[in-house]
């Protein structure tokens, strides 16, 4: 009898991770809210015509690829996403004159995520992957959570990454009526490793980047939903 009891407990423990831990894109992103899902093969973007920018997006970063090559000296040029209807399309020139305050910020994927291959890297430079990010957020704070994702991918073999933008102020815009997101979210999960962490960043010009620490942005994943 003890043998069967031990066997049952062993099987139960083995099954628990599968039963209790199953994060997914659908848990965080309601795809019905996407005016268009842009498939870049290596990642996907949930695009909003109203905001002329990404509502969110998702990608799987593979540990054997990230941080394997960082000597691609010539960066690709940003390009307009021609799959988006022209009237809703974000263009490179829309950011001209805003550089000191609002950067062309990589959102769903960073260029460093795809440094392993020139063709892959080019996919990160679609303007559909670009949102107005406060200069210090783009260059000082958000970059930390991006680096953390690549570290997780190497440690766990791969990491699923979800990005979500929150737009609370429709009057806050740059050129071509592109709305500036008020908050940015990044979710990392790996169901096999029973790992999930979520982060929140305020997208504002006066962010205190000098004392900024990654752990201070970690939040309860349950409060995030697009």
The pLDDT assigned to 6 comes to 53
pLDDT of 14: 47
Q: What is the pLDDT of residue 207?
A: 95
Q: Which of 143, 148, 169 is nearest to 159 (CA)?
A: 148
Has residue 134 been placed in a domain?
yes
Q: What pLDDT does 68 receive? A: 73
Structure confidence at residue 71 (pLDDT) = 59
Instruction: Confirm whether 10 is domain-assigned.
Output: no
pLDDT, tens digit, 9 for 90 and up, residues 69-86: 665 677 899 999 999 999
* pLDDT score, position 2: 56
Q: Which token pair is 95? A: 């950011």
In this predicted structure, the answer to whether residue 153 has a pLDDT above a threshold of 70 is: yes
Q: What is the pTM of this model?
A: 0.90
Look up the CATH number of the domain holding residue 112: 3.40.570.10
pLDDT digits (tens, 9 = 90+) for 166-206: 999 999 999 999 999 999 999 999 999 999 999 999 999 99
| 18, pLDDT greater than 50 | no
Name 197's bridge partners: 188
Structural domain for 128, as ranges: 25-223
Asked if residue 36 has pLDDT above 70, the reply is yes
Q: Residue 20 falls within a domain, yes or no?
A: no
Start-to-end Cα distance in the chain: 50
Report the C-alpha gap between 7 and 61 in whole angstroms: 37
**What is the rounded average pLDDT of the residues 15-37?**
82
Residues 122-150, mean pLDDT to the nearest whole number: 98
- 11 belongs to a structural domain: no
**What is the enclosing helix (H) or strand (E) of 165?**
strand 158-166
Pairwise CA distance, residues 218 & 146, whole Å: 13
DSSP state of 79: B
∠ Cα 145 104 131 (to 5°): 70
Q: What is the tally of structural domains in the chain? A: 1
Residue 152 forms part of a structural domain: yes
160 within a domain of the structure (yes/no): yes
């Amino acid at each position: 009898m003890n043998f069967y009891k031990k066997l049952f407990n062993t099987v139960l423990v083995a099954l628990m991770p599968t039963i209790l831990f199953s994060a997914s894109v659908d848990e965080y992103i309601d795809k019905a809210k996407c005016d268009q899902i842009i498939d870049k093969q290596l990642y996907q973007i949930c695009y909003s015509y109203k905001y002329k920018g990404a509502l969110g997006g998702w990608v799987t970063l593979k540990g054997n690829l990230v941080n394997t090559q960082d000597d691609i000296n010539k960066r690709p040029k940003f390009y307009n996403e021609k799959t988006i209807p022209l009237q809703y399309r974000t263009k490179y020139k829309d950011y001209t004159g805003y550089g000191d305050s609002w950067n062309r910020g990589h959102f769903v994927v960073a260029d460093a995520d795809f440094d392993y291959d020139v063709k892959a890297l080019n996919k990160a430079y679609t303007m559909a992957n670009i949102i107005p990010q406060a200069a210090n957020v783009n260059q000082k704070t958000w970059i930390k959570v991006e680096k953390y994702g690549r570290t997780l991918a190497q440690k766990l073999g791969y990491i699923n990454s979800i990005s979500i933008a929150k737009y609370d102020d429709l009057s806050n815009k740059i050129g071509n009526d592109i709305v500036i997101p008020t908050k940015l979210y990044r979710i990392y999960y790996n169901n096999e490793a029973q790992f999930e962490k979520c982060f929140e960043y305020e997208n504002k010009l006066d962010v205190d980047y000098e004392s900024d620490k990654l752990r201070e942005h970690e939040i309860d994943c349950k409060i995030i939903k697009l």
